[in-house]
Amino acid sequence: MGRRAGGQAIRFEISRLLNRVKKASSRFSNRVYLDIDALLISGILIENMLLKSKKIIPIINF
């Protein structure tokens, strides 16, 4: 990942992650659960990125 503004980098990572999940979900019939899983994974990803950058930012708990 290149050097990006924090928020932009997080949005980029989430969109990349969701695209990966969507590709994987094409094999399954029930996409609702996969979308919920993607949100949970995104929440964990955001938390990890914020912890690494040591910024204290309130985020939504999924």
**pLDDT band at 20; cut points 50, 70, 90:** confident
Q: Is the pLDDT of residue 3 over 60?
A: no
Indicate the pTM of the whole model: 0.31
pLDDT the model gives residue 56:
54
In angstroms, rounded to a whole number, what is the distance separating the alpha carbons of residues 46 and 62? 11
Residue-wise pLDDT for 26-40, tens only, equals 665 555 566 667 777
1 pLDDT band (50/70/90 cuts)?
very low
The number of C-alpha atoms within 13 Å of 5 and in the hemisphere containing its C-beta is: 3
* Digit-coded pLDDT (tens) for 37-55: 777 777 777 777 777 766 5
Burial class (CB in 10 A: 0-12, 13-18, 19+), 47: middle
> CA separation (Å) from 25 to 16, 17, 21, 33, 58?
14, 12, 6, 10, 30
